[in-house]
């Protein structure tokens, strides 16, 4: 499996997204994914499934050192004491001594960036997280984290797929050695309506979802975490790694409209904020 290696991070490019899995079904899904070969599991405090994922990690024969685990703290808990308490709770649920990557899940309106970054850095210094990062941060906020707070963030997790442009985020991230993890990489099942993808899929004997996923995985510094609970879907996503896209394929995908944002809560950041 290809990995992103930047700023000390060694993260498999293909991961398993786990929202909104829950209960024993979540545990079983993670175990199935690990059996297939997945070594990157993504969760979050707000998903409410860290304990179920922890049960899978406790049962698998795969060595802990071989599994990359990401979790995230909700924006209500960015103060130092609150973040540490929540991080320790996440580790208890995950049955881990540390996570490989700990992210701020969403920026808070008017957040004290310096203080939030200091909270993250304390967790890293204390060994609770090997690496730290952010999620859903536009370029303007990324710049404040890196250039003002001097935080060693190594990843920004954002919505990214064939129908949403993230050129600005990618350019800034690459310039500063930051990985980008694409969530909703399959646009939550909305790819079947895209004829250009269907044509490329027929050409390769694949599915539109596999084409869209491979397009992401081919990009420098980009990981993708499609949610898949069924074994067949997990295997389909895994097999997407074998597809070889050509210049014609990439040109067709580049020509698609790129303004379809699926996750855009009212309290979300201003994505068009001046960088």
Positions marked active-site: 47
For residues 82 and 45, is the Cβ–Cβ distance under 8 A? no
> What is Dmax (Cα atoms) for the chain?
54
- Answer left, alpha or beta for residue 107, where phi above 0 means left and psi between -120 and 50 means alpha: beta
For residues 11 and 100, is the Cβ–Cβ distance under 8 A? yes
**Residue 108: DSSP 8-state:** P
Angle at 246 between CA 241 and CA 248, to 5 degrees: 135
Q: Is 4 helix (H, G, I), strand (E, B) or coil?
A: strand
Closest CA to 111 of 148, 59, 85: 148
Write the CB contacts of 33 (distance below 8 Å, at least 6 apart in sequence). Answer: 16, 41, 228, 234
Angstrom distance (rounded) from CA 167 to CA 211: 19
Say if residue 37 is exposed, middle or buried (CB neighbours under 10 Å; 0-12, 13-18, 19+): middle
Angstrom distance (rounded) from CA 48 to CA 26: 11
**Cα dihedral: 232, 237, 239, 245 (round 10):** 140
């Amino acid at each position: 499996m290809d990995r992103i290696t930047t700023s000390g991070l060694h993260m498999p490019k293909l991961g398993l997204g786990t929202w909104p899995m829950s209960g024993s079904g979540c545990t079983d899904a993670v175990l199935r994914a690990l059996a297939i070969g997945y070594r990157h599991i993504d969760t979050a405090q707000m998903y409410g499934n860290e304990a179920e994922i922890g049960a899978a990690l406790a049962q698998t024969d795969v060595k802990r050192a071989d599994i990359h685990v990401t979790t995230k703290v909700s924006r209500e808990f960015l103060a130092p004491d609150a973040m540490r308490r929540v991080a320790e709770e996440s580790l208890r649920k995950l049955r881990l001594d540390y996570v490989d990557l700990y992210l701020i899940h969403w920026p808070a309106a008017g957040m004290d960036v310096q203080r939030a970054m200091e909270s993250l850095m304390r967790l890293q210094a204390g060994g609770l997280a090997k690496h730290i990062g952010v999620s859903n941060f536009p370029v303007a906020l990324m710049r404040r984290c890196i250039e003002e707070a001097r935080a060693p963030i190594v990843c920004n997790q954002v919505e990214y797929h064939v129908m949403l442009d993230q050129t600005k985020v990618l350019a800034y991230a690459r310039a500063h050695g930051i990985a980008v993890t694409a969530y909703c990489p399959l646009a939550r099942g909305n790819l079947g309506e895209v004829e250009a993808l269907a044509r490329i899929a027929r050409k390769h004997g694949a599915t539109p979802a596999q084409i869209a996923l491979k397009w992401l995985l081919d990009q420098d510094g980009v990981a993708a975490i499609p949610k898949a609970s069924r074994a067949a879907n997990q295997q389909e996503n895994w097999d997407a790694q074998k597809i070889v896209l050509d210049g014609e394929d990439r040109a067709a995908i580049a020509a698609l409209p790129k303004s379809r944002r699926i996750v855009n809560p009212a309290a979300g950041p201003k994505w068009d904020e001046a960088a």
